[in-house]
Amino acid sequence: MSLLVTGNTVVDIVFPGVKRLPEWPRHTESTPDNLVLLSRAPIMTLGGNGANAAWVAARCGARVELHTRIGPDAAGRLARSWLDEAGCEVRVAGGSRTAGASTAVNVTAANVRHGRATFFHPGQPVAMPSGLATWQEMPSWILVCGFPHPPLPSIARGFRGAIRRGAFTALDTGPILGRPWTLASLRPVLGSLSLLLANEYELGKIAGTADPDEMIRRVRRVFSGHLVVKRGAEGARWIPALSGECFDVPAPRVRVVNTIGAGDSFNGALLAALDGGAGFAAAVRTACAVAASVVASPDGVLGMKPP
């Protein structure tokens, strides 16, 4: 294996072009108030920060193992089929038939401006793989991502063992749900972290400022590894390890169809490119292009175009 991804797997169901949300019913009958007729068909696709990144990395040519939670239910079987098709090796924490396990499902209503209203069943949390430092085959990169993240102390332990074995480590901070991390709470992880990934909103919450330049300065005071800030349609900003210099990488201009999964796709493409020997600047450009292809596809991550 060249890449180990620890993160959640979700089945995403998206209702696009929703003009209004229904009112909560006062009775059991369907009425014009509580029923919304859709002019466009729902989209069902692979979701979850871990599964998306793993699927894209595999499609980009990396050997990928996904450490995740998938239940023995219909959603789990569907997610498994997508991951198997891409060539991902799936390791299910607790076993694939854990009693009472259920697969995470995310239902999103999106309006024409790509605003979202979401119903999310998170399933079971994903823990860090046990005994990582003693694995016979150590991956070249380890990515931890998804909601909810494993506890920070367990991430720190796993990363320390992996770094000692020569692996590179990456952490994506999103999504920001509930109480966000802070730079102080992340300190135990940052010392054994090769690459920190975040979008601008997430990094601002962690750094305690909405100013894009100031958030990078604050992170740089406590973290010396590579930092990549995902900026949506504007592309990404890369700050090399041991440097305060910023490099802005533009994203290709595309017609936006669906933004769900773009950041995860960026992660998978970035790490696959780095694992394949690309330099960081080239890898970020590749990741921006792959993420743009996802945004332009009605099929979400499953519609990505390999570089």
Contact 215, 209 (CB under 8 A): yes
Instruction: Give the class (CATH, top level) of 3-8+48-101+127-303.
Output: alpha beta
Q: Which residue has the higher pLDDT, 201 or 19?
A: 201
Which two three-digit tokens encode residue 202?
């997430």
Contact 189, 219 (CB under 8 A): no
Q: Nearest CA to 174 among 142, 214, 201, 193?
A: 201
Residue 118 pLDDT greater than 70, yes or no? yes
Which two three-digit tokens encode residue 53?
């990144």
Q: Which residue has the higher pLDDT, 247 or 114?
A: 247
CA dihedral sign, ordered 149, 154, 156, 162:
negative
CA dihedral sign, ordered 39, 45, 49, 52:
negative
C-alpha span between 219 and 207 (Å, rounded): 7
Residue 114 pLDDT greater than 80, yes or no? no
- Read off the pLDDT of each residue in 290-296 and give the average, rounded to a whole number: 96
Q: How many CB atoms lie within 10 A of CB 200?
A: 18
- Read off the pLDDT of each residue in 19-23 and give the average, rounded to a whole number: 85
Q: Nearest CA to 275 among 83, 61, 88, 129?
A: 61
Residue 71 pLDDT greater than 70, yes or no? yes
Residue 252 pLDDT greater than 90, yes or no? yes
Q: What SS3 class is residue 253?
A: coil
C-alpha span between 108 and 126 (Å, rounded): 22
The pLDDT of residue 1: 62
- Read off the pLDDT of each residue in 20-46 and give the average, rounded to a whole number: 84
Q: Which residue has the higher pLDDT, 179 or 287?
A: 287
Give pLDDT tens digits for 230-244: 999 999 999 999 988
The pLDDT of residue 297: 92
Q: Nearest CA to 295 among 249, 254, 238, 251?
A: 254
| Percentage of residues of the chain with pLDDT beyond 90 | 70
Q: How many CB atoms lie within 10 A of CB 184?
A: 10
Give pLDDT tens digits for 203-218: 999 999 999 999 999 9
The pLDDT of residue 94: 59
Residue 263 pLDDT greater than 80, yes or no? yes
- Read off the pLDDT of each residue in 79-92 and give the average, rounded to a whole number: 95
Give pLDDT tens digits for 277-287: 999 999 999 99
Band (pLDDT 50/70/90 cuts) for residue 100 is: low
- Read off the pLDDT of each residue in 63-69 and give the average, rounded to a whole number: 96
Backbone angles phi, psi at 286, to 5 degrees: -60, -45
Residue 99 pLDDT greater than 80, yes or no? no
C-alpha span between 245 and 284 (Å, rounded): 15
Band (pLDDT 50/70/90 cuts) for residue 33 is: confident
Q: Which residue has the higher pLDDT, 112 or 275?
A: 275
Q: Nearest CA to 169 among 140, 199, 137, 148?
A: 140
- Read off the pLDDT of each residue in 74-86 and give the average, rounded to a whole number: 96
| Percentage of residues of the chain with pLDDT beyond 70 | 97
Report domain extents, the chain: 3-8+48-101+127-303
